[in-house]
Amino acid sequence: MRRALALSFVAFVTLASACKAREGSACRKGESTCLDKETALTCVAEKYVRAPCAGPLGCTKFEAHANCDNSVSNDGDACLSEADEEYACTPDKKRALVCTHGRFARYMECRGKGGCSVDGRTVACDTAVASVGDPCKAQGATACTEDGKQMVTCQNGAFAVYRQCRGQYGCYTKDDAPTCDLTRSLEGDPCGVNGLVVCSVDGQSELVCQGSTFMRSRACKKGCTVTTRAAKNIQCE
């Protein structure tokens, strides 16, 4: 009798081990569990995959599921949200991610000083500094490029060139808003204030904004001089 009980116990342990969730084992949509304090297993395409829980709360079990703090993740990491409303920041806080079809993917680039931060299901991303082609959400929003030579604007979900900032101060922040020094420009550069007068980059001509681009206004035999960054004092002699 004791031998039979021992054999039954061994069989039970073996069965329990076989049913334990592990990477690659079969699962159903929505299932998840903690593998360790920093890793969860989540069901993607009916197979368990690792989901790093690199946030400060790590992985804890909640009822029959994993409660995974994946507010810090990398592109391609598995995520647990079925509704694709989960956000994360990369470890360097320079990129915001969103859960898409069970994996984290790029949401926005956060090149500004504020970087990326996550509060619950809300993500904050500082896009005051951006590159051409970076994704954006606020149509018409402006930013400076990292080299300070251009101002970009949000057009149809991506940042595009808005102004060439060829003046001494380039693109800079004034009153928490990007500002472009246009005091030195090239013919054909985009502009927005009709009648705005600036100097050419080589200092040989005066340019004026006509319509949406700078056009040559007159030659400056003794040179074109910029006295302020506001393009209000341009001297052409």
* Per-residue pLDDT, 6: 37
| 26-124 belongs to CATH 2.30.130.50 | yes
Does 182-237 match 26-124 at the fold level? yes
**From first to last of its 237 residues, what are the pLDDT tens digits of the chain?**
333 333 333 333 332 333 578 899 999 888 899 999 999 998 888 899 999 999 999 999 888 888 989 999 999 998 876 556 789 999 999 999 999 888 899 999 999 999 999 987 889 999 999 999 999 999 999 999 999 999 999 999 999 999 999 999 999 988 888 999 999 999 999 999 999 999 999 999 999 999 999 999 999 999 999 886 555 688 998
The C-alpha atoms of residue 41 and residue 24 are separated, in whole angstroms, by 9
What order do you get walking across the sheet with 87-89 strand by strand? 87-89, 95-100, 103-109
Strand partners, 151: 144, 163
Class of domain 182-237: mainly beta
* Per-residue pLDDT, 82: 58
Backbone phi, then psi, for 8, in 5-degree steps?
A: -65, -40
pTM (2 d.p.): 0.79
Q: First vs last Cα of the chain: how many Å apart?
A: 113
Domain locations in the chain? 26-124, 127-179, 182-237
| 127-179 belongs to CATH 3.40.50.720 | no
